[in-house]
Amino acid sequence: MGVQVPPTAPPERSYRYAAGPFFYRHESTPNGGYRPWIRNTLFFENYAKHWDRDRKESREVLSEFLRLMALKPGAAVLDAGCGTGVFLPYLADAVGSDGTVEGFDYSQQMIDVAKEKFSSLPNVAFTTGDVLKYHFEGQRYDAVCCLNFYPHIADHSRDVIRRLYDAIAPGGMLVIMHDMSRKAVNAIHGGAPILPPVDILGEKLISAGFSVTVAMDTESFYFIKAVKDAAADDFVYDDDPSPASVSKPGKGHHHHHAETKRVMNRLSRISGHIEAIKRMVEEERDCSDVLVQLAAVHSAIAGVSRVILKDHIDHCIVDAIRDDDEAAVENLKKAINTFVK
């Protein structure tokens, strides 16, 4: 597969993410090199019983995650990609006896280990399934948390986020977090930018119908909390491929915009996000938190600009060239010059 591992990395602990949902563990070869060991669910099935031994939890960081989530007693929570259940007791304690926590993972061995540790918790249940195929009950959860899970679905993030979005109740939250820095996460996965900066992922979540309320990328952890807009009725993820529409023939250049609804929805969400930032300033929240939120809005505005520009090129300029409308072409040049400054 051509996977390279630094010679200094211990063979039994070296694993990385490759294309798609495939995972590689590296074992030593007779000539002193490494070879990739098979992947996907097999990796976790075989490694489940040793996971807690090799991957120690940080109680301080997990407690901070719980504080930032601000779960309410009685909430219904899905722990997507729960693994061996490291976060389950924290969540169970936060929602109390009237709440429910569901540990979800596609590795049966991981779920079995989680059950051995936490089946005595009365408000915790366990489900084995593939998040890309499992049919979650619509608008069921008040919160969906993904602890150390995002890199494993990065190549399928749009589909996974869509499924989780549909499963979250209006006003509910999606939390994507890692108990180590983004730099450390990406280093584990071969140095590729599997986990994006919080403003980039935040912009994608905004475009999907969430409002980002907390976004932190520190030397100790990575945390994004996004709330599903109560009035959001469509899902438009940033890498959602839009069907190309064909410009209608005819004389004269008419400004036909195929993406008007998509643009208006995004602008409405950006407006709501700005209102949330205004409240943060009024509440005298930490300046760094405000700046991260502003960066997410800036990225979201840039995303809308790209949609408008692409739409303009695909439709308006095609029509203008066909109709020899030089003025429209010149206006596009000016707009591009302004956009790239």
> Which residue range forms the structural domain that includes residue 331?
260-339
181 and 316: one domain?
no
The mean-pLDDT minimum among 53-57, 176-180, 197-201 falls in 53-57
Q: In whole angstroms, what is the distance from residue 48 CA to residue 93 CA?
A: 24
Q: Does the pLDDT at position 100 exceed 90?
A: yes
279 and 206: one domain?
no
- The pLDDT of residue 129: 92
Instruction: Check if the beta carbon of residue 107 is closer than 8 Å to that of residue 44.
Output: yes
Q: In whole angstroms, what is the distance from residue 175 CA to residue 145 CA?
A: 5
List Cβ neighbours of 93 (8 Å cut-off, separation of 6 or more): none
Q: Is the pTM of this model over 0.75?
A: no
185 and 282: one domain?
no
271 and 213: one domain?
no
Q: Is residue 123 in some structural domain? A: yes
- Which residue in 210, 99, 111 sits closest to 164, CA to CA? 210
Q: Does the pLDDT at position 145 exceed 90?
A: yes
Q: Which structure tokens are listed for 44?
A: 């976790």
Q: Is residue 108 in some structural domain? A: yes
- The pLDDT of residue 289: 73
205 and 116: one domain?
yes
Q: Is residue 200 in some structural domain? A: yes
164 and 269: one domain?
no
- What does the pLDDT average to over 122-144? 91
Q: Does the pLDDT at position 207 exceed 60?
A: yes
Q: 251-300, pLDDT tens digit by residue?
A: 444 555 667 777 777 777 777 778 778 877 887 877 877 777 787 777 77
The tally of domains found in the chain comes to 2
List Cβ neighbours of 187 (8 Å cut-off, separation of 6 or more): none
- The pLDDT of residue 40: 53
Q: Is residue 279 in some structural domain? A: yes
DSSP 296: H
95 and 176: one domain?
yes
- Mean pLDDT score across all residues of the chain: 76
List Cβ neighbours of 101 (8 Å cut-off, separation of 6 or more): 77, 79, 88, 91, 92, 95, 121, 123, 124, 125
End position of a domain, from candidates 208, 228, 248: 228
Instruction: Check if the beta carbon of residue 195 is closer than 8 Å to that of residue 222.
Output: yes
Q: Does the pLDDT at position 71 exceed 90?
A: yes
- The pLDDT of residue 194: 87
Instruction: Select the more confidently predicted residue: 71 or 57.
Output: 71
Instruction: Select the more confidently predicted residue: 1 or 286.
Output: 286
179 and 305: one domain?
no
DSSP 313: I
Give the CATH number, domain containing residue 221. 3.40.50.150
210 and 282: one domain?
no
Q: Is residue 5 in some structural domain? A: no
Give the CATH number, domain containing residue 275. 1.20.58.1000
- The pLDDT of residue 62: 95
Q: Is residue 23 in some structural domain? A: no
Instruction: Check if the beta carbon of residue 75 is closer than 8 Å to that of residue 99.
Output: yes
129 and 194: one domain?
yes
Q: In whole angstroms, what is the distance from residue 110 CA to residue 219 CA?
A: 28
Instruction: Select the more confidently predicted residue: 234 or 58.
Output: 58
Q: Is residue 272 in some structural domain? A: yes
Q: Is residue 266 in some structural domain? A: yes
Instruction: Select the more confidently predicted residue: 44 or 15.
Output: 44
Sequence-ordered alpha helix ranges (H) in the chain: 40-54, 59-69, 88-95, 108-118, 157-167, 182-188, 198-207, 260-282, 287-311, 318-322, 326-339
296 and 163: one domain?
no
Q: Does the pLDDT at position 31 exceed 50?
A: no
